[in-house]
Amino acid sequence: MDAEKKQRLQSLKVIISETFMVLAVIISVAVLALIVSGYWIGSGFKVERQGMLQISSMPTGADVSIDGDSSWLQRTNTSKVLLSGEHNIVLTKEGYDSWSKTINIQEGLLYRLHYPRLFLKDRTPKKLASFDGATATFISPDSSALLITNKTTKWELLNLREESLSSKTIDISKVFSTVSLADNAKEGLFTGKIVDANWDLDASHLLFEVKTAEDKLEWVLLDIKNPDRSFNLTKEFGGEFSAIQILDNSSNNLMAIQNHSLKKIDVPGRSISTVLAKNIISFDHYHNEIIFTAKTESNESDVSEDSEESDQPYYVGHFKLSDDNVKELFFTASAAKATISQFYDQKYCTVLEGSEVRVYTFDDLKEYAKYNLSFEPEQIKVGHDGEFIIMNSGSQIASLDMEANAVREWQTAGKAFSWFDFDMIYSVKDGELFVYDFDGLNDRSLATNVSDHFSVGVTDNKWLYYFSDNHLMREWIVEH
């Protein structure tokens, strides 16, 4: 073969090779584009839409069944690609109860299930201590501490993270004004009625709302670590506080409604700000941002004159603590309740007006979703990591699941409910303790003969605490 023919053959091989390489790159890019867009090439070379499920559980290592199909490869704390559409997820683990939910996978999107909890079936309650005369208990958000109140000025603080409980006496005699000296007692008596109490996230302070014998409200920030540093807000600032919220993890800053005006309280500095907004009905906070509902008819100077909806009697306003620049977000016909939340990297504003729920993307205030409920909730609360929003009137609940973009209405067994942990709710009826996921699913009965006016909590994902006939009880909820 002459040199010219060899050169032509070599050039042809190069052209064919490069053509195949280009085609391979194009096909690879196309396949990757399909995968990123939520498509997959299934059996028979059929193009199918898919998304991803990320699932974890407490305890870890539960078996996962998807649409009735399970294998030893499917365990919690893992991810799995699934076809778009509805799938039934069931978690099981030997010695534990089961958990299940039907979810809707969307193409190209991740669906997270991080809150499933399984409870050990064979549990033996252990009586830890008796507290005769206890009037109420308050468990910290992380369930590390439990404050037990009574009618005296000596309250008990328990450390729930120790297997052998340790306690500390909290002297509230110099904290509340609702304390009197009793002729037949060595110590003072607490005469106030506790309306509400809220911990900060550091479990270092409790904000008390107390009703006095004269039917007036007294607000006290109780310092758990050093009671002498507690702060009686009502005594310090006077006036009428109708609502106060803790703004940070350690209660350094509070936001309050005093005489229908919003004011910020600097706890270390023992000072209160000037009026930040007037004619306030309600408010909520998200980090350093405040969202509130106010009347417009008595607040005309704060409402934009060129607003097309300024004739509405109420408005939802917003400002940041860093600049105090109040903005009107929405005008409403009735006193709405509003909150700010963030889910993934998107911030939302949820407005509850009567039985209508409207969700807006916060940056542009475009309507993201709207739901009509069968009842009118009295409260609205953002759940853990902004994943869900709870609206309720008594035991009737509407749970807005931001992951599923859906609302589910349900009702607890008891007349009232509280938070079991960051993702679960509990209720007591006729001494029986029921727990629910935030959306009311996976309801289970955990214990009987439970006192319904004392707190229930789970510590370090291993101990369940509750009261029974003035006895503090503990059960292991995981194998040990």
Q: What is the pLDDT of residues 339-365, one digit of tens each?
A: 999 999 999 999 999 999 999 999 999
**Local confidence band at 304 (pLDDT 50, 70, 90 cut-offs):** very low
Domains belonging to the chain, first-starting first, are: 40-113 (2.60.40)
Tell me: pLDDT of 248 over 70: yes
Least confident of 154-168, 287-301, 413-427: 287-301
**Local confidence band at 9 (pLDDT 50, 70, 90 cut-offs):** low
Q: Token pair of 202, please?
A: 């550091």
* Residue 165: per-residue pLDDT: 85
What's the rounded Cα separation, in Å, for the pair 354 and 310?
Answer: 20
98 Cβ contact partners less than 8 Å away, ≥ 6 residues apart: 90, 91, 92, 118
According to DSSP, the residues that pair with 29 across neighbouring strands are none
Is-cis flag, bond preceding 59, omega within 30?
yes
Percent of the chain topping pLDDT 70: 85
Q: Residues 99-109: what's their mean pLDDT?
A: 93
* Residue 12: per-residue pLDDT: 62
Percent of the chain topping pLDDT 90: 72
Summarised one tens digit per residue, pLDDT across range 34-79 is 555 555 554 454 556 789 999 999 999 999 999 988 875 678 888 8
- Residue 395 DSSP SS3: coil
Nearest one of 334, 336, 421 to 378, comparing CA atoms = 336
Tell me: pLDDT of 444 over 50: yes
**Local confidence band at 306 (pLDDT 50, 70, 90 cut-offs):** very low
What's the rounded Cα separation, in Å, for the pair 212 and 228?
Answer: 21
Report CA dihedral (331, 336, 339, 343) to the nearest 10 degrees.
-80
Residue 58 DSSP class: B
Q: Residues 180-190: what's their mean pLDDT?
A: 70
Summarised one tens digit per residue, pLDDT across range 13-28 is 656 666 667 666 666 6
180 Cβ contact partners less than 8 Å away, ≥ 6 residues apart: 188, 189, 191
What's the rounded Cα separation, in Å, for the pair 229 and 255?
Answer: 19
Nearest one of 109, 77, 81 to 91, comparing CA atoms = 77
Cα 411 off chain centre by? 18
* 83 neighbors 104 (Cβ within 8 angstroms): no
Model's pTM, two decimal places?
A: 0.85
Least confident of 32-46, 89-103, 320-334, 397-411: 32-46
